[in-house]
Amino acid sequence: MLELDLQRASQAPAPDDDAFRRWCELALRQRRGDSELTIRLVDEAEGRELNRTWRHKDYATNVLSFPAEVPEGILDIPLLGDLVICVPVVEREAAEQGKALEAHWAHLVIHGCLHLLGYDHIDDDEAEEMEALERQLLAELGHPDPYTDDDTGPMAERRES
């Protein structure tokens, strides 16, 4: 079972709660047992501040993933962590990249959830594994490959994160 805390700190339009739940459940289906996570939807000011604080990059980025650091044996909770998604950045990227807004939202939620599961894209092998899984999950939703143009895609900065 998924326990999803969806925090809407942005007034900008965003997908409904059911869409977020569907995307998270798809990304997390490989995980056995319960999962808890928070998704916080923010505007650019908060997104920029969080990115500056945690990644030392002075701009708002599309999605930030904060995996939970629960000490082994101390607490037995299914907490995965938090995702922070900057609504205006998602909208702008989708328009600039000529992508359907829903497909871009789905991609970023799935991408963030995979980070919470331990996937990463720091080196090429890890990136290929993670991107292949993202492609597969998005195809199940009927969305196209988000990496058809890696120079302008949502993960163009992947080697920086």
- Residues 10-20: pLDDT tens digits? 999 999 999 99
Q: Mean pLDDT over residues 87-101, rounded?
A: 97
Position 33 scores a pLDDT of: 82
Q: Mean pLDDT over residues 153-159, rounded?
A: 39
Distances, alpha carbon 2 to alpha carbons 29, 66, 92, 105, 123, in Å: 10, 17, 29, 19, 30
Q: Is residue 145 part of a domain?
A: no
Q: Is residue 149 part of a domain?
A: no
Q: Which domain, by its residues, includes 88?
A: 2-140
Q: What is the pTM of this model?
A: 0.88
Q: Is residue 128 part of a domain?
A: yes
Task: Evaluate whether 146 touches 61 at the Cβ level (below 8 Å).
Answer: no
Q: Is residue 151 part of a domain?
A: no
- Residue from 130, 19, 159 nearest 85 by CA: 19
Count how many domains the chain has.
Answer: 1
Q: Is residue 158 part of a domain?
A: no
The CATH number of the domain where 115 resides is what? 3.40.390.30
Q: Mean pLDDT over residues 151-157, rounded?
A: 42
pLDDT tens digits for range 102-135 = 999 999 999 999 999 999 888 888 889 999 999 9
Q: Is residue 147 part of a domain?
A: no
